[in-house]
Structure 1
Amino acid sequence: MRILRLTPFFHHDYVDHWPAEFDPVGGMQVQILALSRSLARAGADQLVLTLGFPGLPPTKEIEPGLTVRIARTSLPKVRSEITGLVGLGQAWLLATVRECLRLRRGDWRPDLVHVHADGQIWPLVAGRVAARLLGVPYVLTLHCSRLSVYQPMSVVDSMAHRLVTHAERQALRYAARVSTLTTRTADVVSAATGLDRSAIVVNPDAVDITPAGPAEAAAFAERYGLTGRRPLIGYVGRVAHEKGWPDLLRLAELLADLDPTFLVVGDGPQRERMEREIAEAGRSHQFVVTGFLPHEQVPAALALVDTLVMPSVHEELGGSAIEAIMTGTPVAAYAVGGLRSTIGSACPDLLAEPGDVRGLAEVVRHVLADRDAVVAQLKAAQPATASTFDMAATRDRMLDCYRAVLAGAGASSRK
């Protein structure tokens, strides 16, 4: 089968740098790449239309059956602390429509469109437009749902929230099939739109991580000057509003008696602001910020830290939490979105109420005081976690979804 994959966010894993203004890599990007690779190896032929940054090849065959094409019109470099560059989503949408018009005249025609939505309006529009232009059905995956977990990230975003939520409803109703990462979002979406719940595929992100050994962790520690610095508290993800990074500074205050070091792995539109606020608080000596790192270096960071913290404002699933569980690294997090199930099912004592920084600090203290017991609890949960977030199962569920759409079963998902 031929699949046209539409996503503004995709992990170009052959690079060693990533300009922050072009939305640095995060869990959604990594997961879409992993799924695409797995599908290609199962025989699917895919073309991915995604954003990219200057210096990337316009078209690149990642492997047989998986070609990535950069879709982005030129735009002025006006920075935003929410989206990186202002107009990035619009630039991707316009270029995607242009590419679809070219595909209509070309030799490669997709059997279906699969669009990946992140809570912004542009992918929701792109899926419907592409499907109509190409005369094929489309599958919609909600990596972050406005109806379920999304929290507006700015005043402007709050003003647009009703419009984007309406666009999500419409995109859901016209999709041939809908895929969500969690059962909770599937239930919310079904209730809010009237979609037949049985026709919504719950297909969580997959885990494909090899834990780092002591030598790799030691080399990572030496590279970033972390040797002997304990306790070491980690943060892995985009430095952006929705990830709740300001609470790292509040944690540093509340845990001052422990004199912890914070390892921040990632980059994002608010990195400069974060580093400025760290300096203004007089805590630069407590923070080590690596910036963007290739994903294969993340296991070494997870192996090194005493605990990972996830103070997210919203989180559809929480890929970093799943990876941490599979490496035996404790996670202290707010009980938001999918974290309530990913962490809650493994070790519910590691969750604090959303926004309760003092509660999060107490979770960190609990981990540091009894880390061996917490790690043992996480290791006991690893078989169930691995089974739930298995790549082969994720791939097979998606293939079954595609086959149902191509067999004409998609119409039954709408009332």
Structure 2
Amino acid sequence: MASRRPALRLFAQCRCRSQLGSAPAVNTNWTSRRILSSFPSPGASGHTLAPLGRYLGWAAFGLLIAAPLTYKMAIDEPLRMDTPTLAERDQQLKAEQGVSEVSPMRLRMEKFAKEQQRAIVRALEEVDGTPFRVDEWQRKEGGGGITCVLQDGKIFEKAGVGVSVVYGTLPKPAILKMRANHKNIADEANIPDSLEFFAAGLSLIVHPKNPMAPTVHLNYRYFETANPDGSSGAWWFGGGCDLTPSYLFDEDAVQFHKSLKDVCDKHDKDYYPRFKKWCDEYFYNKHRGESRGIGGIFFDDLDESVSDRENLFAFVQDSLKSFVPTYVPIVNKRKDMPFTEKEKEWQQLRRGKYVEFNLVHDRGTAFGLNTPGARVESILMSLPLTASWRYMYEPEPKSREARLVEVLQNPKEWV
């Protein structure tokens, strides 16, 4: 239908010209006007055309112009106007077929992330007794998300659980940069000017009120590029989970790391030592010379060079499902412990270091803030409600605060 409209418009213009009957009156189309200006006026040589001759002459001339232009529009216009974007393809696919085990991985990851978001929010609401605020939002460039936030609760000063789904287009410089880690993202001999992409993930942050209860962070995500027909191009998974205590309880650290190791070992016994080291290196506050917390696991760019897509998706699913049974028992154990004003002040100072890492070093925060149409409130959800900084503050030697700093400067093997 789109290709017929230009033809109908041109035919109507040609019919209009033929009814006007004289060359000077033809001025509705700049192309026709420019070409017609080179023809002599009928009155210049003293000859006039009979009405029927003029009608046939102008009709033939109009068709001569219209034919090649109509053909070109019929070929070009569907490419410009009728080719659906990846977001539109997925919207139609979900409406017609829903999401199942045979759906594209991007749709399965989106569905799984939203299911886990609901489960985690329910579990945290049971601990705190305060409902989350739920914001659903759309991104005009494609996609959207659900951001769930709890502030000033009974147990949690701030907790956020967010799902983001992003559709967009990678420009050529971004494609070239990504080829450093993913050679199959595009043929080196024929790198396109742009590629559509999809990214989806679940991010979580919990900042408890009690300084004896640790902060926890989690993120699991999936990224893929799309071929022109909508099929999957390059793809990879990323993610991890890490713990940031203000006061260190070794038993909590061991329990947390053992849970992560058990999940990793189920899929590949090399995962935990590799991803634990990766976590210690990534969550490192370089300007402070210490880690953000006591670590966990972190990984990125897991693609077919590591394992097939189904196995990696199963690993991500098991990792995400392990969060509630790992963290909730720890926070339940610590949430009602007594603490002093001085210990609360130390928690605020540690949160200041947390903020520094997120705003200075975290690649995810930088990527989000530099993505067109990004929802800033959701990106900065990870920041604590309160934090503080003191000039040249040093903990007392041999204190619990000093021991934490020593561990942050020298990461331990907990399991």
Answer yes or no: same fold by TM over 0.5.
Answer: no
Q: Which band: TM-score by shorter chain?
A: under 0.3
**How high is the TM-score relative to the length of structure 1?**
0.22
Identify the structure with bigger relative contact order (alpha carbons < 8 Å, sequence gap 6+): 1
